[in-house]
Structure 1
Amino acid sequence: MMKSSKFIQIFIFLFFAKVCNAQIVISKPNLGFTQACASPSFNSYNVTFTFSPDTGITASNQFIIELSDETGSFASAEVIHTTSAGSVTASPATLNFMFPTTIAGGAYKIRIKSTSPAATSTGSDAFPAYYKEQDEPFTINNLISTAVYCAGETYTLTIDNPGTPPNNSPLQYPNLSFNWFRETSETTSVFVASGESLEVSESGTYFVETDYGSCTSNSFSNRVAVSQSGSGSTTSISSSLGNPYCSGDGPTRLSAINGSSYKWFKDGVEITGVTTQMYETNESGLYSVEINLGNCLETSTIDLNAEGFSSSIDVPENNFLDEGETLDVAVTTDAINPEFNWYKDGILISGEINNSFTSSEMGSYSVVVTQTSGCLASSEHIFNILDAFPSVAKIPNIVSPNGDSVNDTWIIPQEYVSGTNTEVIIISSQGKIVLQTKDYQNNWPENQLEFKSINPVFYYIIRPENKKEQKGSITVIK
């Protein structure tokens, strides 16, 4: 009986000794992918491996996936997945895992480790791996498609940052790097440099992409055509809300290209105190900015429309009609579900709700175009219908062509105008004939006159067919 008990004790000792000294061999991991292009919307990958003997693991064993650095070194390996104890018992085994958001390189490897007993596989084949945390288009150069540099100098292209819509700037993500390119054709380009900005000293069209290696990506910028000043160069002003934009959405940000100083204008008048690269406004108008680039100046403009849509009218501001004539007016617009209201002398014309209008009555007219969907905004167009040959008692000696519809042209009595075979001659103070006609249309001066330090004086001769000749002077004032 004692011999039997001793035999059992020896058997148990040998059994546990064998278990404690058990070893397993883990094969080289077999990747379920050739490259890892992870993103917030996709980050699920598989690896398969074998281990033998499969009876060599204990119930507490865990398998661990380790990730090398971007060069394939496991000196500072990162654990990216650990199985629960005893969950993997059969070989071969396939594990699903996620990559960390910091991956960015072309030669990563993974390896498999076990805890009970402890064993480590060799590294897998090398593979590129990138986490595309920003995967949408972004802007550079304030979304301005052109840029200019002075001769002998450079122009700095930079990635825009704010990161507010619609520009999800990749500069918000510190793990990212960037590659700049210059176009060589519509479909080809060459690598120029890496970094968050680019110093350009050669004319060409440039853009930048987030460096995601061989992974396809939508993280790229707009194109910018850079040229040397004076070589047919042009540049423009961009509007952050587009143009036209909806003033109801708040002010838009006008941006110019990079420079050392700026001077802004609205409708030709300097905007006092504004000397920055950007200017916020909520008003329509013709904006321009004078940009000091160092050794040269560049001027950019934008005709800003704050109505959220565009519209135009096909007649000039002043329209002259003879008796019996009519004026046809039409409005063209890209407004959504537009409404049209026509006015005469400030009073709404009942029933006129279309984009076209016809009238023969003299007066001051306007049409208000309203966009009724999306951006609720309106735009007004003004025009006048005037008698081509109004009745005046005397020949005027003053003309003020300033666009206010009062004395803008030299209006003479009807007995001397077109149809009466009267010769009208206007002579400058230097004796030069500036107008000579037998068909005067009450339209002088048709072109802008040049003013010096004094108001110019002209002289007229009116020669009716069967009446006495008239002579006098005309003073042109602002």
Structure 2
Amino acid sequence: MRNFTVYYIFVFVLLTFTLSAQVVISKPNLGFTQACASSTFNNYNVTFSFSPSGNLQPTNTFIVEMSDADGSFSNATVVHTTNAGSVATSPATISFSIPTATSGEGYKIRVKSTAPAATSSASNAFAAYYKIQDSPFSINNLIETGVYCTGGSYLLTIDNPGDAMNDSPLQYQNLTFNWYKETSPTTSVFVASGESLEVSTPGVYFVETNYGTCTSNSFSNRVTVSEAASGTTSSSISSSLGNPYCSVNGPTTLSAINGIGYQWFKDGERIDGATSQMYQTNEAGTYAVNINLENCTASASIDLVNTDFTSEINVEDINILDSGETLLVNVATTAVSPVFQWYVNNTLIVDATTSNYEVSQQGNYTVKITQTEGCNASQEINFVVNEPFPDVANIPNVITPNGDGINDTWVIPQEFVSGTNTQVTLISAQGKVVLDTTEYQNNWPENELDFKDVNPVYYYIIKTSNQNIKGSITVLR
């Protein structure tokens, strides 16, 4: 009888200890009704209670788990784990972020503890989407129309250049798309899902990235698709750089609607070899294309306008400025609403913002002209301002380019330097031409010479309108 009593007491104590070590976690309360996350916002709160709080061990952590889109936790995703012992009072609120692959209407949240181990029930279901792409994109090469022959169809596709001009959603994995047909200027009906749509009914169509009940800016342009009974119907052409376009930004790509054959024309003349859906050009003009739609044809044209501008300055590329003198440089430009920036030796001259600048010191100058209306483009013009060349009496036949500032370059009389239309030629002893210019700056050699001989010899020829002077130069180390 005594042994039985001891055993009973031992079981009772063990059961009491086990029960005292448990906690109960309430159903999580969400601080939101749907999670529409993006790169600019992805922070959500969940609040829960637990008791008794005294049963939490110092090593306890709370884990926030997110189900799949159907509410199942069989492959739950951990979206937050607290530090050990950091949450000790009830109720508690924890912030978390949803994964970038999140997409669905039936997600749930639950909370788990580790010491002791416990799991809450699931939260209410909620819609959650991570909008990895959330900007407008183009379909049909941004052409506003599409045409199909009677009994045929027209294929609408999402464009995928994947560049700064078009943030195509096709660049991002796991996204799906819903196509719609307009029923009025403000209403539409769902047609189908997918990356493309085969249209066989006239109407206005567009596509949106499928972010469910979350609103977004990830939608396409509208395309009006029509049926051509017979003969030739009209269509349109798009320019990738817009129209007018800026040729300084490179060629633009002209695109026609989908067909099975093409022939492009410029100013009424057939362009040989231009038989693709797209044609690239950097010239203004009237472009047309004939499109074979198999059982009928379509034609389209565009008057492509180039709105580039021209600029020039009133000084030479290389200018000489005497001490105490100034040089007024003026810019003449056809740019619309131009902005001017002046630089000397690659440094911005802060106060120089007009079309003219008075130069008072030598240096390498640049003026940058930016057109701010129409064609958004910039041009740069460079010019150099030097001090007067030294006035030496004779042509030297020895130089010592050792960097001491004395006789480092071949300095010839002013009557032969830049601005005198004199041709100066230097030839090595091996017959290689090392200098040939009509704008000599008294600066040879600009770079360090490769001394293969002890004191190499070079031969010069100086030609003016009435002189032909020849001689030699010895280069001493």
Q: Which residue of 2 aligns with 1:267?
A: 267
Q: Which residue of 2 aligns with 1:292?
A: 292
Q: Name the CA distance, whole Å, in 2 between partners of 1:303 and 1:186.
A: 29
Q: Name the CA distance, whole Å, in 2 between partners of 1:76 and 1:132.
A: 22
1:435-446 correspondence runs (5 A): none
Q: Name the CA distance, whole Å, in 2 between partners of 1:61 and 1:41.
A: 32
Q: Name the CA distance, whole Å, in 2 between partners of 1:120 and 1:305.
A: 68
Q: Which residue of 1 aligns with 2:377?
A: 375
Q: Name the CA distance, whole Å, in 2 between partners of 1:148 and 1:70.
A: 39
Give secondary structure in 2 for the equivalent of 1:289: strand
Matched, 1:193 2:192: yes
Q: Name the CA distance, whole Å, in 2 between partners of 1:93 and 1:154.
A: 59
How far off is 1:178 after superposition?
A: 0.7
How far off is 1:15 after superposition?
A: 9.7
1:78-477 correspondence runs (5 A): 78-230=77-229, 234-308=234-308, 336-337=336-337, 373=372, 374-375=376-377
- 1:203-242 Cα distance to aligned partner (Å, 9 max, x none): 0000001111111111100000000114895311100000
Q: Which residue of 2 aligns with 1:77?
A: 76
Q: Which residue of 1 aligns with 2:59?
A: 60
- 1:369-426 Cα distance to aligned partner (Å, 9 max, x none): x99554369xxxxxxxxxxxxxxxxxxxxxxxxxxxxxxxxxxxxxxxxxxxxxxxxx
Say if 2:233 and 2:298, in contact at 8 Å, map to a contact too.
Answer: no
Say if 2:233 and 2:297, in contact at 8 Å, map to a contact too.
Answer: no
Q: Name the CA distance, whole Å, in 2 between partners of 1:127 and 1:283.
A: 55
Q: Name the CA distance, whole Å, in 2 between partners of 1:243 and 1:335.
A: 17
Say if 1:255 and 1:278, in contact at 8 Å, map to a contact too.
Answer: yes
How far off is 1:337 after superposition?
A: 3.4
Q: Name the CA distance, whole Å, in 2 between partners of 1:195 and 1:222.
A: 16
Give secondary structure in 1 for the equivalent of 2:170: helix
Say if 1:33 and 1:45, in contact at 8 Å, map to a contact too.
Answer: yes
Q: Name the CA distance, whole Å, in 2 between partners of 1:21 and 1:376.
A: 77
Give secondary structure in 2 for the equivalent of 1:184: strand
Say if 1:227 and 1:233, in contact at 8 Å, map to a contact too.
Answer: no
More displaced 10-residue stretch of structure 1: 228-237 or 44-53: 228-237
Question: Pairwise CA RMSD of aligned residues?
Answer: 2.5
Say if 1:244 and 1:308, in contact at 8 Å, map to a contact too.
Answer: no
TM-score under structure 2 length normalisation: 0.62
How far off is 1:336 after superposition?
A: 2.0
Query: Residue type matched to 2:92 in 1?
Result: A
Q: Name the CA distance, whole Å, in 1 between partners of 2:370 and 2:57.
A: 75
Q: Name the CA distance, whole Å, in 1 between partners of 2:336 and 2:235.
A: 31
TM-score under structure 1 length normalisation: 0.62
How far off is 1:192 after superposition?
A: 0.7
Q: Name the CA distance, whole Å, in 2 between partners of 1:296 and 1:236.
A: 16
- 1:128-153 Cα distance to aligned partner (Å, 9 max, x none): 00011111100000000011001100
How far off is 1:307 after superposition?
A: 2.2
How far off is 1:335 after superposition?
A: 6.8
Say if 2:108 and 2:125, in contact at 8 Å, map to a contact too.
Answer: yes
How far off is 1:256 after superposition?
A: 0.8
How far off is 1:295 after superposition?
A: 1.2
- 1:92-115 Cα distance to aligned partner (Å, 9 max, x none): 000000000111111110100111
Query: Residue type matched to 2:291 in 1?
Result: I
Say if 1:67 and 1:80, in contact at 8 Å, map to a contact too.
Answer: yes
Say if 2:143 and 2:223, in contact at 8 Å, map to a contact too.
Answer: yes
Q: Name the CA distance, whole Å, in 1 between partners of 2:147 and 2:204.
A: 12
Query: Residue type matched to 1:261 in 2?
Result: G
- CA 67–233 in structure 1, closer or farther in 2 if over 3 Å, else same: farther
Q: Which residue of 2 aligns with 1:408?
A: none
How far off is 1:158 after superposition?
A: 0.4
Q: Name the CA distance, whole Å, in 1 between partners of 2:262 and 2:233.
A: 18
- 1:329-350 Cα distance to aligned partner (Å, 9 max, x none): xxxxx97238xxxxxxxxxxxx
Say if 2:289 and 2:300, in contact at 8 Å, map to a contact too.
Answer: yes
Give secondary structure in 2 for the equivalent of 1:55: helix
- CA 75–376 in structure 1, closer or farther in 2 if over 3 Å, else same: closer
Give secondary structure in 1 for the equivalent of 2:72: coil
More displaced 10-residue stretch of structure 1: 150-159 or 16-25: 16-25
Give secondary structure in 2 for the equivalent of 1:171: helix
Query: What stretches of structure 2 of length at least 5 have no aligned partner?
Result: 1-8, 310-333, 339-368, 380-477
Q: Name the CA distance, whole Å, in 1 between partners of 2:40 and 2:169.
A: 17
Give secondary structure in 1 for the equivalent of 2:89: coil
Q: Which residue of 1 aligns with 2:41?
A: 42
Give the number of equivalent residue pairs.
312
How far off is 1:18 after superposition?
A: 2.4
- 1:434-477 Cα distance to aligned partner (Å, 9 max, x none): xxxxxxxxxxxxxxxxxxxxxxxxxxxxxxxxxxxxxxxxxxxx
Give secondary structure in 1 for the equivalent of 2:79: strand
Query: What stretches of structure 1 of length at least 5 have no aligned partner?
Result: 1-9, 310-333, 339-369, 378-478
Query: Residue type matched to 2:137 in 1?
Result: F
Give secondary structure in 2 for the equivalent of 1:42: coil
Say if 1:39 and 1:133, in contact at 8 Å, map to a contact too.
Answer: yes
Q: Name the CA distance, whole Å, in 2 between partners of 1:17 and 1:251.
A: 82
Q: Name the CA distance, whole Å, in 1 between partners of 2:136 and 2:48.
A: 39
- CA 70–233 in structure 1, closer or farther in 2 if over 3 Å, else same: farther
Q: Name the CA distance, whole Å, in 2 between partners of 1:372 and 1:106.
A: 49
More displaced 10-residue stretch of structure 1: 44-53 or 261-270: 261-270
How far off is 1:121 after superposition?
A: 0.5
User: Equivalent pairs: percent with the same residue?
Assistant: 63
Say if 1:243 and 1:304, in contact at 8 Å, map to a contact too.
Answer: yes
Give secondary structure in 2 for the equivalent of 1:65: strand
Q: Name the CA distance, whole Å, in 1 between partners of 2:99 and 2:105.
A: 15
Q: Name the CA distance, whole Å, in 2 between partners of 1:337 and 1:106.
A: 51
How far off is 1:298 after superposition?
A: 0.8
